[in-house]
Copies of this chain bind each other. A is one copy, B any other.
């Protein structure tokens, strides 16, 4: 099948490669010409402009956008006038599903079809395949099934879930799923990322506890501003974090792909000196918590994971200063210099 790909960053580039490996024909476009050159060498057709890109696609055209969420509408403004009735637009990036609902309505009135695809898999997707969560109209989604099948991991050697009905007419076991109408793909991907924040935080907090299990061996200040450690004899462990991550990968209840990656990062840099710990959040975590609030669904863990990221970037500083100011007001407590307890 022929497909046009716009946006050749890390994700778009890899996905184009995987599509070509599975026999699909790819026309590509990116504002940076050098991004196209490498793919051209692998068999893709590069485009000189959006106009050129559109002209190289046969109708009904299939255009996959792999762009930062903030840029999608700008590209659509330029692209849509160049398209014809029955062409298909796929947003495979991390758009807000609100935007999918809005866009699909606007595009439908022009005779265009819109499909939203949440894509998980990261830099390993080229090799392992991408997990695809899809929203849109059934006929359009079905029309694209060979594209999705190429990008997805397929059944591979992962056993199908035992209690799954054998005769289910669904592609979930191949790694892609039509989740529902417009926006459903990005909705499910959004929650996927919200969960991801929670999982990551759980590992990170646990490893931080392990790292500080030697706190009883360190010197402690004795003053009214510092809580004395009640039982230093309970905290005399110097633990080997990469080795612990490695052993947990094997047979434990908390084994996961994220843990595999964590072990890799810890062996490479056990003190993680190459990081500062300012953690970005790219939208889905926020939107997940907002959706939960709209639904009145309690999400203490997902919310806490999101807040930690805000806090990691210094955004709690003013609140903390208020706490110090209050303590100074009522108790005459002087702030102590930034002397970490935990390491």
Give A47-73 as 1s and 0s: 1 = Cβ < 8 Å from B's Cβ atoms.
000000000000000000000111100
Question: Could you mark each residue 244-272 of chain A with 1 if its beta carbon is under 8 Å from any beta carbon of chain B, else 0?
Answer: 11111111111111111111111111001
The interface-forming segment of A19-27, A35-43, A76-84, A95-103 is A95-103
Contact of A129 among B129, B250, B258, B304 (CB under 8 A): B250
Question: Which of B101, B243, B265, B330 contacts A170, CB < 8 Å?
Answer: B243
Interface size class of A (residues with CB under 8 A): 35 or more
Q: Assuming A209-B291, A338-B313, is B258 touching A257 (CB within 8 A)?
A: no
Contact across chains for A308 and B319 when beta carbons are under 8 A apart = yes
Which of the residues B152, B282, B303 comes within 8 Å of A303, measured between beta carbons? B303
In the bound complex, what is the Cα–Cα distance between A293 and B276 (angstroms)?
Answer: 23
Residue from the list B131, B165, B262, B327 in contact with A252, Cβ < 8 A: B131
Q: Which residues of B have CB within 8 Å of A154? A: 250
Tell me whether B243 and A172 are in contact (CB under 8 A).
yes
A146 lies within 8 A of chain B by Cβ: no
Q: A300-B308, A301-B205, A310-B298 given as contacts; is B276 within 8 A of A338 (CB)?
A: yes
User: A29 an interface residue at 8 Å Cβ cutoff?
Assistant: no
A199 in complex: contacting residue of B254, B260, B314, B331, CB < 8 Å: B254
Q: Is the CB of B226 within 8 A of A280?
A: yes
Cβ of A208 under 8 Å from chain B: yes
Q: Is the CB of B204 within 8 A of A201?
A: no
**Complex interface: chain B residues within 8 A of A124 (CB):** 330
Q: Is the CB of A315 within 8 A of B286?
A: no
Q: Is A147 an interface residue (CB 8 A)?
A: no
A–B Cβ pairs within 8 angstroms, 30 of them: A97-B234, A124-B330, A131-B248, A154-B250, A168-B243, A177-B244, A192-B253, A192-B254, A195-B206, A198-B202, A200-B322, A201-B319, A202-B302, A204-B322, A205-B297, A206-B288, A253-B257, A265-B329, A272-B324, A276-B335, A277-B319, A277-B335, A279-B335, A289-B293, A296-B315, A297-B315, A301-B305, A308-B323, A313-B338, A315-B342
